Structure 1
Amino acid sequence: MSRDETSKFLSYVLRHEPQAIGLQLDSEGWADIDALIEGAARSGRALDIETIEDVVASSDKKRFSLSADGCRIRAAQGHSTAQVQLQHVRKQPPERLYHGTASRFLESIEGQGLIAGARHHVHLSRDMETALQVGQRYGSPVILEVDALRMHAQGFMFFQADNGVWLTEAVPAEFLRRA
């Protein structure tokens, strides 16, 4: 598998479908690397520790974390599986955060705001460039500015994942505007 294919495979099994390869994640999303390698082999994918370490180290978005002892791996955020409930540290957000999306979703967002959908949180970026990159994955991109500090002052909770992505449960439409 190429580095990109390996990253996509790791995202799939560590964020959404660990059972697809018989992998168990703990409540913080950690998986035993040896079990991951064995599960990948059972599903016909060659994976080894060097490849995993390379993908973790080279991921520009820091999608994965290795445990201090190097024996476990997890996705930084974006889980949709019920067995994972990462305990991110609550933080005060900056004044503004950004969300990249496709223009075809604007009407729905203007009506109901940003919702997590199948994921546990809405993902927000500190800068417009990152939000633009995210939005481009889904079609004609639109960047939404989130009045994060005002949300926080009104009791909304914000967290920051290991890779710097800001997380919140939802963003009501009143806190959004096109950037």
Structure 2
Amino acid sequence: MTEPIRTCAAHGPYSSADGRCPVCDARSGVLLSGDRRRQLSKFISGALRHFPEDVGLELDERGWTDYEALTDAVEWKYDWAEPRHVPAVIAIDPKGRFERTGAGGIDDGTGNGLVRASYGHSVDVELESEALYASDSRVGSAATHETEPTDAPVPDELYHGTAPANLASIREDGLRPMSRQQVHLSGSREAARRVGQRHANDPVVLVVDATAMLADDQCITKRGRETYTTDAVAPEYIDVPVTES
């Protein structure tokens, strides 16, 4: 179940199970219901990752597009959507899927502001080797935005959730980007299992030897809060179960 977004007068948008601001413990009214938050998040993700032209957006070579154009596309798609909904969804996205410059982010010097998806593109973009993410997922306006360089510490092990039916091909060919530009790995078993549940009710969580990959000069980049990307993962770096369930 997706939690609704609320807005604290002092600390901005937030989402919490008990409805109270994580900073000051005040209880605020609902800005966006859980269902509508999920709708907007899926639409924004799709527009920035997969079908920008279908909604009138133009991405530059690094995936950035005009922020106001995105809000216009959202309001065109949903007659209930308001301009204030978009920055709230972006600011407190639990996976750090979005990056924004200008108001609410790093000033790009134009005064307009830009927005992009942090990872997961099927359209052709060239993300630079730094991922921008909100360091505090609890409260949007209180979060500071930082850059996480490619050579930032990577966990010794990373994880990938998948359907049991995929194990044979993974054992043979490793992990490949498929419809996306890069392979996506998770920083925890729990996150990988959640990803795997998109493909199977009882997914398999594979363990990837990130230390060995880095030692062999394979590049791993942190994108978002629990997501890491790489061009591919060869079978020798993956602990694949011997038997399929």
In structure 1, stretches of 5+ residues that fail to align are none
Asked whether the equivalents of residues 171 and 240 of structure 2 are also in contact (C-alpha less than 8 Å), the reply is no
Q: For 1:19 and 1:173, how far apart are their aligned partners in 2?
A: 36
Per chain length, whose mean CA-contact separation is higher, i.e. which structure has more relative contact order (CA < 8 Å, sep 6+)? Answer: 1
Which runs of 4 or more aligned residues in structure 1 lie more than 6 Å from their structure 2 counterparts after TM superposition? none
| Structure 2 residue aligned with 1:133 | 194
Shift of 1:164: 4.1
- More helix per residue: 1
In structure 2, stretches of 5+ residues that fail to align are 1-34, 105-112, 131-149
Q: For 1:41 and 1:128, how far apart are their aligned partners in 2?
A: 37
Selected match of 1:72 from 106, 111, 114: 114
Shift of 1:101: 1.0
Selected match of 1:45 from 71, 74, 78: 78
* Counterpart secondary structure, 1:144: strand
* Counterpart secondary structure, 1:156: coil
Asked whether the equivalents of residues 48 and 63 of structure 2 are also in contact (C-alpha less than 8 Å), the reply is yes
Q: Quick check: 1:152 aligned with 2:210? A: no
Q: Quick check: 1:9 aligned with 2:43? A: yes
Asked whether the equivalents of residues 188 and 226 of structure 2 are also in contact (C-alpha less than 8 Å), the reply is no
| Structure 1 residue aligned with 2:27 | none
Let me know the Cα RMSD of the aligned residues: 1.8
Q: For 1:162 and 1:134, how far apart are their aligned partners in 2?
A: 14
Q: How many aligned positions are there?
A: 177
Q: For 2:224 and 2:165, how far apart are their aligned partners in 1?
A: 30
TM-score, normalised by the number of residues in structure 1: 0.90
| Structure 1 residue aligned with 2:108 | none
* Counterpart secondary structure, 1:60: coil
Asked whether the equivalents of residues 98 and 125 of structure 1 are also in contact (C-alpha less than 8 Å), the reply is yes
Asked whether the equivalents of residues 191 and 226 of structure 2 are also in contact (C-alpha less than 8 Å), the reply is no
Asked whether the equivalents of residues 100 and 132 of structure 1 are also in contact (C-alpha less than 8 Å), the reply is yes
In our comparison, the structure showing a higher alpha carbon Rg is: 2
